[in-house]
Amino acid sequence: MAKPKKTPRPKAETPKGFRDYFGTEVTQRAEMLQAIAGVYHRYGFDALESSAVETVEALGKFLPDVDRPNAGVFAWQEDGEGEKPGDWLALRYDMTAPLARVYAQHRNDLPNPYRRYTMGPVWRNEKPGPGRFRQFYQCDADTVGTASMAADAEICAMLSDTLEEVGIPRGDYIVRINNRKVLNGVMEVAGVLDPSDPDKFAHERGIVLRAIDKLDRLGMEGVRALLGEGRKDDSGDFTDGAGLTDAQADTVMGFMQAKRDTGAATVARLYELVEGSETGKAGVGELETMASLLDAGGYHADRIEIDPSVVRGLGYYTGPVYEAELTFEILDEKGRKRNFGSVAGGGRYDDLVKRFTGQEVPATGVSIGVDRLLAALQAKGRMQSTNPGPVVVTVMDRDRMADYQAMVAELRQAGIRAEVYLGNPKNFGNQLKYADKRASPVAIIEGGDEKERGVVQIKDLILGAKIAETATHEEWKDRPSQFEVPRAQMLAKVQEILNNA
Amino acid sequence: MAKPKKTPRPKAETPKGFRDYFGTEVTQRAEMLQAIAGVYHRYGFDALESSAVETVEALGKFLPDVDRPNAGVFAWQEDGEGEKPGDWLALRYDMTAPLARVYAQHRNDLPNPYRRYTMGPVWRNEKPGPGRFRQFYQCDADTVGTASMAADAEICAMLSDTLEEVGIPRGDYIVRINNRKVLNGVMEVAGVLDPSDPDKFAHERGIVLRAIDKLDRLGMEGVRALLGEGRKDDSGDFTDGAGLTDAQADTVMGFMQAKRDTGAATVARLYELVEGSETGKAGVGELETMASLLDAGGYHADRIEIDPSVVRGLGYYTGPVYEAELTFEILDEKGRKRNFGSVAGGGRYDDLVKRFTGQEVPATGVSIGVDRLLAALQAKGRMQSTNPGPVVVTVMDRDRMADYQAMVAELRQAGIRAEVYLGNPKNFGNQLKYADKRASPVAIIEGGDEKERGVVQIKDLILGAKIAETATHEEWKDRPSQFEVPRAQMLAKVQEILNNA
């Protein structure tokens, strides 16, 4: 029977919904983010790293994602001073709310317009799920202080360049653009939006927005049901619909399906749909302006296209919205082929800075889903391992550690990744198992006999693995995977093996 | 009189003790960390990015810094489920406590020994002060799972290589090594440590440790006072001393001053001082082993030396301790010359993983003070700006935005950082002011007249600034800072200016 313990040991576990990242998980992400930063820099965007901690007051209390209004932040209260209660602080849940705070705080010192990019973790106090963590990376670029469509067009062009730069070839992605004003115009026409009382039907429009945003998942029929009475999903749960009449729902469905073969034809169709709405016409005009700017920059419909079915879920967008979808197929968890899907999205939000300053400050920006894009690059075999295993110098004689240290020093000075085995050297088999776990390309062995004769044994572990795999194959039959070289030739021989690897 | 507001605007401010980092502050740090990661990688260390959030249970509740036992963490309680209260979570306050948790959690999957490096922010719930923030970067490298002095020696060598790699030349830094067992041996000899009852005099030894760690600041006399009755500082505050007798204090002072001209002579002196203490002798032996391994790797006393006055403040070190000091002079806030001082430190801690597993897991590691090292590189002029201003294409005719977009697209495709001016183009002076704020090297101007004639105006802003500075100087007199070139030659001309800049 176990004795009851006095002080139980702490559990060695990350909190629920958090995880650690090891080796190439860290370096591949860093490499991808660095490539992205290079493109952003070329576009004139400046780096910003804002504090991870904000006052709850500055953040606003809830996530902007209208689909999860109760999803929260990690927050705590500071110690107060005397009678005065302490501030409530919280971890940032995205990069946009902090940008609004930074811009309002530093606007006199920042260039105007201000283009900035930022990369880093954000935290959400949500129920974790498979592949859904409470800490994850975001990588955002925004332009604050200009209402010009050139800013939106530029960000779409930059997104296109970024995808190609990190390794998604043209043809494997599409940047889709749309405009919230067009949707609002369509709603006006359908009678679900009254320009003189914009708050009326806001609830219904929220449902419409979220329904369209789920087109991918629900299909036309599912969206249609949500526009009307509502929808029962596979599990039997019922989601309330917007209660639109058939005629209203048809108008909205017509908007979603307004995409034509060319941008010009789509624009013409949209003008028909918003006939009679000033807002709608302005929105189509903005789309036209963006499309012509993009065309002038060489970004044609094979990379960036107008697609009225793109609406984005966030409530705060006021004009252009855009998203990048990867169009190549992968197998989903059930082995079915499907498009990889969205990896980035954004749009124009003209009201966020106003919370602080009272003045409307127009802004537009994009956020890349770092983990999804990285997964796409891995799926396409675009990430080379940046973490080659080290050469392992084994320890045959623990009193000659200095000799082994001199070997690794020599290898490292030549730029080769190298380690001495630092575990208990007694069992040589363990040393080779360690080299295997480290994915070492080469092991070096220098026992007393070798030392005396001025030689070292070099074990080519890559070749060794190949021989083991294809033992009967002629090609490898006569090539030894271990050989002896004079100590002075160790470096040259290791370099030769690594160059051939 | 101002009308009372209904909902006051949120304050646009970082929480107290937090700050934002802009432009080169971000990119220079990233660049430095990347150079450091390159060295660590070559030494066989693997990247780790652990969760920023830990359970308070896993972290242990307080900072290990014995000098600030009440300094805290940012912590909050999770929502509970039913009767069960939620876990307390906290932001990590350093990288060592999370490493112990990660190693305990994943030890079956990790190589053994496990070398890892990590870089990122840590958070401390402390009173902020000038230059002292509640979020800052740490960059750590640790080897877990080996008691070999080769691991400690390797980290010191790596620290030395790292400093040279980022731009601190040999001669401008020194890595100092010492060993806590030697100090314990000296305490035994002085009668402040009884090996059969190690907890006796623990309080006194804590005071001695912190006093020695402050040698730089307090001088010999100040340390001596703290070893005895105590010390009154300049402000009149009194700090209690360890209450050592004169003889005991003399022994400790002798230890601090045991450094001799050569490592061998220092070692010999230390053996004299710990005569009669097994622990002390073991410690000196460890120092000897490290020194001989380092010598064999080519790391001599001009880079790494034994210095008994180095003890490091943290309570958890059990053997070797080491720190890197930059030895060049800078001017302090009062204009006095002083050595730049310590930028990195670490040591061996054999008990941290044991909290989780019950088994002692030997470990050793170093932490670089990222902000201090960056400040040192800036002071030495080692950081080149990685944030050159963009070429600014001005907007003379807002209907021809497409033309201007095409220009920046052409420049960017050639790898040149370039922007279109996106503010209100009405006032051309504002566009040039913007270019100035962006530190632009070149502005491009294409009005209707230029467009018609197929030319653009190129304004060399670097030359312009030089001319403005030295208006009477012969050298610039005849060189125009603005000229006209055919549109087709814009790119070539801009490249020429940037290459000559």
- List, for residues B136-158, the tens digit of each pLDDT value: 999 999 999 999 999 999 999 99
Question: In terms of CA atoms, which chain A residue is nearest residue B403?
Answer: A296
| C-alpha–C-alpha distance, residues B269 and B262, integer Å | 11
pLDDT above 90: percentage of residues in chain B: 61
Cβ–Cβ below 8 Å for B423 and A115: no
Number of H helices, E strands in chain B: 18, 19
Are residues B403 and A20, on separate chains, in Cβ contact within 8 Å? no
Residue numbers in A near B23 (CB within 8 A): 46-48
Distances (CA, A) of A182 to A177, A251, A294, B350: 12, 12, 19, 65
Structure tokens at B242: 């360890």
Contacts of A342 (CB under 8 A, 6+ apart): A323, A324, A325, A326, A369, A372
Chain A: residue whose CA lies nearest to B158: A409
With contacts defined as CB-CB under 8 Å, which chain B residues touch A438?
44, 111
Contact yes or no for B42 and A417 at CB 8 A: yes
Give strand pairing partners of B330.
B338
pLDDT value, residue B455: 97
Is residue B69 predicted with pLDDT exceeding 70?
Answer: no
- Whether residue A350 is annotated as binding a ligand: the answer is no
Question: Is B46 in contact with A22 (Cβ distance < 8 A)?
Answer: yes
A42, B389 contact by CB (below 8 A): no
pLDDT of B113 > 80? The answer is yes
Q: Residue A334 carries which DSSP code?
A: T
Contacts of B46 in chain A (CB under 8 A): 22-23, 387
Q: How far is A271 from chain B (nearest CA, A)?
A: 22
Can you give the C-alpha Rg of chain B in angstroms? 29
Residue of chain B whose alpha carbon sits nearest to that of A47 = B23
- Read off the pLDDT band of A475 (50, 70, 90): low
Q: Which residue among A11, A42, A422 places its CB closest to the CB of B415?
A: A42
- The C-alpha atoms of residue A116 and residue B334 are separated, in whole angstroms, by 36
Q: For residue B148, which residues of chain A lie inside 8 Å, CB to CB?
A: 401, 422
- ipTM, two decimals, is 0.90
pLDDT digits (tens, 9 = 90+) for A182-230: 999 998 998 888 888 888 888 888 888 888 888 888 888 899 999 998 8
Q: Which of B20, B357, B412 sits opposite A51 (nearest CB)?
A: B20
**pLDDT score of A64 more than 70:** no
Q: According to the annotation, is B317 in a ligand binding site?
A: yes
Answer whether B41's CB lies under 8 Å from A390's CB.
Answer: no
Q: What CA–CA distances, in Å, run from A259 to A296, A361, A383?
A: 22, 32, 35
Q: Which of A96-100, A173-177, A233-237, B415-419 has the lowest mean pLDDT?
A: A233-237
**pLDDT tens per residue, range A151-183:** 999 999 999 999 999 999 999 999 999 999 999
Work out whether strand A75-77 and strand A304-306 pair parallel, antiparallel, or are unpaired.
unpaired
> How far is the alpha carbon of B321 from chain A, nearest alpha carbon, in Å?
19
Positive or negative, the CA dihedral A25, A27, A31, A33 is: positive
By Cβ distance, the residue of A25, A58, A403 closest to B12 is A58
- For residue B474, name the pLDDT band (cuts at 50, 70, 90): low
pLDDT of residue B477: 57
Distance from CA of B220 to the nearest CA of A (A): 37
- How large is the average pLDDT for residues A350-356? 88
pLDDT value at A123 more than 80: yes
Residue A485: in which H helix or E strand, if any? strand A482-486
**Nearest-angstrom CA–CA distance, B78 and B88:** 6
Between these two residues, A274 and B472, which has the higher pLDDT value?
A274
Q: How far apart are CA A60 and CA A54, in angstroms?
A: 10
Mutate to test the interface with A, among B28, B53, B101, B438 (most CBs of A within 10 A): B53
Q: What are the chain A neighbours of B401 within 8 Å (beta carbons)?
A: 148, 150, 293
With contact defined as beta carbons under 8 Å apart, do B362 and B146 qualify? yes
Mean pLDDT lowest among A113-127, A326-340, A364-378, B415-429: A326-340
**pLDDT confidence of residue B386:** 56
B124 annotated among ligand-binding-site residues: yes
Q: Across the interface, which of A20, A25, A102 has its CB nearest the CB of B102?
A: A20
According to the model, what pLDDT value does residue B70 have?
Answer: 42
pLDDT band at residue B8 using 50, 70 and 90 as cut-offs: confident
Give B388's pLDDT tier (boundaries 50, 70, 90): confident
The mean pLDDT value for A291-315 works out to: 89
> What's chain B's average pLDDT?
89
Contact criterion met (CB < 8 Å) for A10 and B75 = no
Would you list the domain boundaries of chain A?
24-379, 391-500
Q: A218 CA to chain B: closest CA distance, Å?
A: 33
Which of A3, A5, A7, A13 is the mutation pick for testing B, counting most B CBs within 10 A?
A13
CB contact under 8 A, A53 and B134: yes
Residue B188: φ, ψ to 5°? -60, -50
**Taking residues A457-479, what's their average pLDDT?**
74
Q: What is the mean pLDDT of residues A428-446?
A: 94
- For residue A148, the chain B residues in CB contact (below 8 A) are 401, 422
What does the pLDDT read at residue B475?
A: 58
Does residue B322 register a pLDDT over 90? yes
Residue with tokens 């009668």, as numbered in its chain: B191
Kindly indicate the confidence band of residue B61, based on its pLDDT and cuts at 50, 70 and 90.
low
pLDDT at A17: 94
Q: Is B290 annotated as a binding residue?
A: no
pLDDT tens profile B252-307 = 899 989 999 888 999 999 999 999 999 999 999 999 999 999 998 889 999 999 99
B312 is in an annotated binding site: yes
Query: Highest-confidence range of A71-75, A116-120, A387-391, by mean pLDDT?
Result: A116-120
Q: Which of the four pLDDT bands, split at 50, 70 and 90, describes residue B65? A: very low
pLDDT score at A208: 86
B107-119: b or e for each residue (b if 16 or more CB lie within 10 Å)?
beebbbbbbbbbb
pLDDT digits (tens, 9 = 90+) for B423-438: 999 999 999 999 999 9
Determine what percent of chain A is predicted with pLDDT higher than 90: 62
pLDDT confidence of residue B85: 84
User: Which 8-state DSSP code applies to residue A400?
Assistant: G
- Burial letters A284-296, b for 16+ CB under 10 A, else e: bbbbbbbbbbbbb
Categorize the per-residue pLDDT at A68 as very low, low, confident or very high, splitting at 50, 70 and 90. Answer: very low
Give the whole-angstrom CA distance, residue B410 versus residue B400.
Answer: 16
Q: With contacts defined as CB-CB under 8 Å, which chain B residues touch A26?
A: 47-49
Most confident listed range (A446-450, B227-231, B348-352): A446-450
Buried b (16+ CB within 10 A) or exposed e, B280-289: bbbbbbbbbb
Q: How far is residue B201's CA from residue B102's CA, in Å, rounded to a whole number?
A: 34
Structural domain B391-500, CATH architecture: 3-Layer(aba) Sandwich (3.40)
Average the pLDDT over each of A124-128, A402-406, A468-472, B357-361 and give the range with the smallest value: A468-472
Question: Å from B335 to nearest chain A CA?
Answer: 29
Q: How confident is the model at residue A471, as a pLDDT?
A: 60
Question: Cα Rg for chain A, rounded, in angstroms?
Answer: 29
B10 → closest Cβ in A51, A57, A150: A57
- Identity of the residue in A53, A150, A293 whose CB atom sits nearest the CB atom of B18: A53
User: What's the rounded Cα separation, in Å, for the pair A416 and B484?
Assistant: 51
Residue A295 has pLDDT above 60, yes or no: yes
Cis upstream peptide for B10 (omega within 30°): no
Instruction: Check whether B176 is labelled as a binding-site residue.
Output: no
Does the pLDDT value for residue B6 go beyond 70? no
Q: Give the tens place of pLDDT for each residue, A369-427.
A: 999 999 999 888 877 765 679 999 999 998 999 999 999 999 999 999 999 999 999 99
Tell me the chain A residues in contact with residue B359 when contact means C-beta distances shorter than 8 Å: none
Q: Do B26 and A47 touch (CB under 8 A)?
A: yes
Question: Given an 8 Å threshold on Cβ–Cβ distance, is A146 in contact with B422?
Answer: yes
What was the pLDDT predicted at A203? 84
| Nearest chain A residue to B135, by CA | A51
What residues of B are in contact with residue A42 (Cβ under 8 Å)? 412, 415-418
* Three-class secondary structure of residue A376 per DSSP: helix
Q: Is A312 annotated as a binding residue?
A: yes
CATH topology of domain B24-379: BirA Bifunctional Protein; domain 2 (3.30.930)
Q: Residue B66: its pLDDT value, please?
A: 41
Nearest residue, CB atoms, A26 vs list B27, B47, B58: B47
